[in-house]
Amino acid sequence: MRILQVIGSLNRGGAETFIMNVLRNIDSETYQFVFLCYGDKSFDYEKEAKELGAKIVRIPDVKVIGAVKYIAEIKKVIKENSIDAVHIHTYYNSMFALIAAALSGVELRITHSHSTQSETNPSFLKKLYFTASSLVIRTLTTSRLACGSEAGKSLFGENSKFTVINNGINLKDFAYKNDTRKLLRKQLALPSKGTVLLHVGRFETVKNHSFLIDIFAEYLKKDPSSILLLVGRGPLENKIKQRVKLLKLDKSVRFLGVRSDVKDLYNVADLFVFPSLFEGLPVVLVEAQTNGLSIVASDTIDQAAKLTNNIKFYSLENSASEWAQCLLDTNKAHVDVYSKLAGGQYDINSVVARIQEIYSGDCE
């Protein structure tokens, strides 16, 4: 069965990481993934995806060629690759792939919501676009999926039916390892007594890095030997680097870029800080909790993200100083929670079993 994964890119984002986790664990004898991506740049997961038997097809983004040509390109991909089903992860832009799939006669058309909103303060025209897109999505989708209840309501409607597919991970990979902590702390030349704060996320507006830097500036006043590790890259990275320099935090904030060893970096940290403006149900919060890491996250995130008692939700209406005090008051010891989560709803094996049911038509 050949499934077109309309994803846009295969960089280390939340939706991309989720679908890669599925690819790593799905029955490769039965299912083949064809990833539909934009542009000609190489992606973080590209090499691994190909090694796992997936195919990557590139077309221009809809913003570049317009809706009509974009739909035609997708129809061409569907025909040339004998696609049996489409699984779309592009939120409101999902409507274009749905139209292409419906016109191509693809019967299984899956729309998967990974967020609770598209952007902050959209214009009037954007709101009109979202309304039109929602109507198309609700009409042409045959299987509605979401990473959480709030993400599902956001895209499909408050009273719509949809299936929650948890952002599953290979739990063993993220269990706390003290030996890894010691080794990596030494390699990264981290102070033995300093508190290490960690954030993993693309440098985009939604991740609220600017406020995160303000929080850390206040925290540093209370804990002068602390270090903030920032993992990721993105369009706002240089702007955040300039802010760090302006606030004279250069020696205490480290930009680690995109890393393939994020699962190990959780062991290094004492606190995970996540002040996003909005999210669906972030994979990184599942990973960090599995590691037993204490987390302070914004209360804009779906409360279903609370899998353990290690996570605390805090309002973005509170000041940077108040956030800093909250971090200071948070327990910084890793807690062993792996045994409680193993085999549960966030175990990738359970998630893949649900996905396979959907692909086979046994579950709506």
pLDDT digits (tens, 9 = 90+) for 33-75: 999 999 988 999 999 999 999 999 999 999 999 999 999 999 9
Can you give the pLDDT at residue 118?
A: 74
pLDDT value at residue 245: 97
Q: Residue 73 is inside which H or E element, if any?
A: helix 67-80
Report the amino acid identity of residue 120. Answer: T
Q: What is the pLDDT of residue 8?
A: 94
Query: Above 80 in pLDDT, residue 3?
Result: yes
Contact indicator for 77, 36 with CB cutoff of 8 Å: yes
**In residues, how long is the chain?**
364
* Residues whose CB falls within 8 Å of the CB of residue 157, separated by 6 or more in sequence, listed in order: 134, 138
Strand partners, 32: 2
Residue 341, pLDDT score: 83
The reported pLDDT for the residue numbered 344 is: 80
Of 174, 165, 173, 175, give the one whose Cα is nearest residue 145.
Answer: 165
Least confident of 115-119, 178-182, 256-260: 115-119
Give the pLDDT confidence score for residue 302 in this predicted structure: 85
pLDDT top residue among 85 and 341: 85
pLDDT of residue 362: 66
Q: Is 307 left (phi over 0), alpha (psi -120 to 50) or beta?
A: alpha
Residue 119 clears pLDDT 80, i.e. is over it: no
pLDDT at 121: 79
Residue 120, pLDDT > 70, answer: yes
Give the tokens for residue 364: 């709506």
Name the helix (H) or strand (E) containing 263.
helix 262-268
Higher per-residue pLDDT: 325 or 343: 325
- The predicted pLDDT at position 363 comes to 55
Give the pLDDT score at 90. 96
What is residue 49's predicted lDDT score, i.e. its pLDDT? 97
Give percent of the chain above pLDDT 90: 84
pLDDT for 343 beyond 80: no
* pLDDT, average across residues 341-355: 88
Query: Could you tell me whether strands 271-274 and 2-8 are parallel, antiparallel, or unpaired per DSSP bridges?
Result: unpaired
The model's pLDDT over 182-235, given as tens digits with 9 standing for 90+, comes to: 999 999 999 878 899 999 999 999 999 999 999 999 999 999 999 999 999 999
**pLDDT category of residue 13 using cuts at 50, 70 and 90:** confident
Half-sphere exposure of 154 (CA within 13 A, CB side): 23
Percentage of residues in the chain with pLDDT exceeding 70?
99
The pLDDT of residue 338 is 77
